[in-house]
Copies of this chain bind each other. A is one copy, B any other.
Amino acid sequence: MNDAPTTMSPLAERLLAGDKRALARAITLIESDDPAGWELVREVYPKTGKARIVGFTGPPGVGKSTLIGALTKELRKEDRQVAVLSIDPSSPFTQGALLGDRIRLTEHFLDKGVFIRSMASRGALGGLSEAALQAALVMDAAGKDDVLIETVGVGQGEIDIVDHADTIVLALMPGSGDSIQALKAGVMEIPDVIVVNKSDHPMTDTMIREVRGALSLAHTPGGWRVPILRTEAARGEGIEELAAKVAEHRAFIEAEGTLAERRARNLCSEVLGLATARLRRRLEAAIEDDPRVAELLNRVVSRELDPASAAAELLEGEIDE
């Protein structure tokens, strides 16, 4: 069942040839949870692993999408094929944008070497991450050199998605006090590159000192010295350096052998995450469809049966079937 198919589906062939419409179609299939989407990922998976996956995280409002837009422009100068995947519900890529943002994005929409796609937060645990990771795989299969993933890192985060990147960029701006505190307290994981955007703000130097202070307290893994960059993405300032640092980090982990290690670990956790998300969805469906499950939950609400025993009964039922 898992042998490579002797003939590829036409969609897979077009995708592997880099056809933009095939890529758009593939992601739509994945997003709508169409079995054809999963089948497609299965077909093209052996051709993945070449793209550089860069995850951007940080609180809303710091200008992650402007930063990604500016970086895309920079990467296009080197003629790299770029795909952007946004899963930040507050991002202009994802929904309502200011006019200025729309114009900056439109510039890229007309460029054949750039593919932009957003995914809305579905709310369902695991559902969105699941789809986003598959979307990143088809972008990779379509021959993109860089897959830039935008996500939000404060509040109920889809942080697991960014964890699957080869390089994680944390974007902050002067005033990102909570993120600094979270870094200091060891609650937020240390990224690979930190960008202080909107650096024309008078508090930028203070901010950079605070970031440096937070990093000095943290345990940074494996010899990589996390650079703290200042950018003014709306004017393209500092973007060349950002591109250089992203490339440098990639070269570093490749040389150290940690890229392969990181990817292996991420893939295992992806398999586990996908399996868990599917199980959860199956259970959710059972709650809606199965009167015995509804009855079980009623007994919990009336304090007859405790939640853990109900969970155990739910699992037994699930596994019997």
A contact set with B: CB distance below 8 Å: 2, 38, 41-42, 45-46, 48-49, 59-62, 88-90, 125, 133-134, 137, 152-157, 159, 175-179, 181-182, 184-189, 263-264, 267-268, 270-272, 274-276, 278-280, 283-284, 287, 296-297, 299-301, 303-315, 318-319
Whether B188 lies near A154 (C-beta < 8 A) is yes
Q: How far is the CB of A218 from chain B (nearest CB, A)?
A: 12
Whether B304 lies near A46 (C-beta < 8 A) is yes
Q: State the CA gap A276–B268 with chains docked (Å).
A: 18
Whether A315 lies near B278 (C-beta < 8 A) is yes
Q: State the CA gap A61–B217 with chains docked (Å).
A: 15
Whether A308 lies near B181 (C-beta < 8 A) is no
Q: State the CA gap A90–B183 with chains docked (Å).
A: 10
What 7 pairs between A and B have smallest CB-CB spacing?
A90-B185, A45-B306, A59-B178, A274-B311, A60-B185, A155-B188, A178-B178
Whether B272 lies near A187 (C-beta < 8 A) is no
Contacts A154-B188, A272-B280 known; 5 new A-B pairs at CB < 8 A: A152-B182, A267-B307, A272-B284, A274-B307, A279-B315
Q: State the CA gap A309–B153 with chains docked (Å).
A: 29
- In-complex Cβ contact of A60 among B90, B187, B312 (8 A): B187
Whether B157 lies near A42 (C-beta < 8 A) is no
Q: State the CA gap A16–B232 with chains docked (Å).
A: 60
Whether B41 lies near A308 (C-beta < 8 A) is yes
- In-complex Cβ contact of A61 among B89, B157, B184, B267 (8 A): B184
In the complex with contacts A45-B303, A177-B176, A263-B301, A154-B187 CB distance below 8 A: yes
What chain B residues lie within 8 Å of A300 (beta carbons)? 267-268, 270-271
Q: How far is the CB of A180 from chain B (nearest CB, A)?
A: 9
Q: How far is the CB of A219 from chain B (nearest CB, A)?
A: 14
Q: State the CA gap A263–B314 with chains docked (Å).
A: 19
Whether B181 lies near A314 (C-beta < 8 A) is no
Q: How far is the CB of A246 from chain B (nearest CB, A)?
A: 22
Q: State the CA gap A166–B305 with chains docked (Å).
A: 20
In the complex with contacts A45-B306, A186-B89, A276-B276, A155-B154 CB distance below 8 A: yes
Q: State the CA gap A181–B59 with chains docked (Å).
A: 7
Whether B156 lies near A42 (C-beta < 8 A) is no
Q: Which of A155, A175, A270, A278 has the most CB of B within 10 A?
A: A155
Whether B271 lies near A307 (C-beta < 8 A) is yes
Q: How far is the CB of A110 from chain B (nearest CB, A)?
A: 28
> 19 A–B contact pairs at CB < 8 A?
A2-B299, A2-B313, A38-B308, A88-B187, A90-B181, A90-B187, A137-B307, A154-B154, A154-B178, A154-B187, A175-B175, A177-B178, A263-B301, A268-B300, A271-B314, A274-B307, A275-B312, A278-B312, A279-B315
Whether A41 lies near B306 (C-beta < 8 A) is yes
Closest chain B residue to A319 by CB distance?
Answer: B319
Q: State the CA gap A153–B277 with chains docked (Å).
A: 23
Whether B182 lies near A314 (C-beta < 8 A) is no
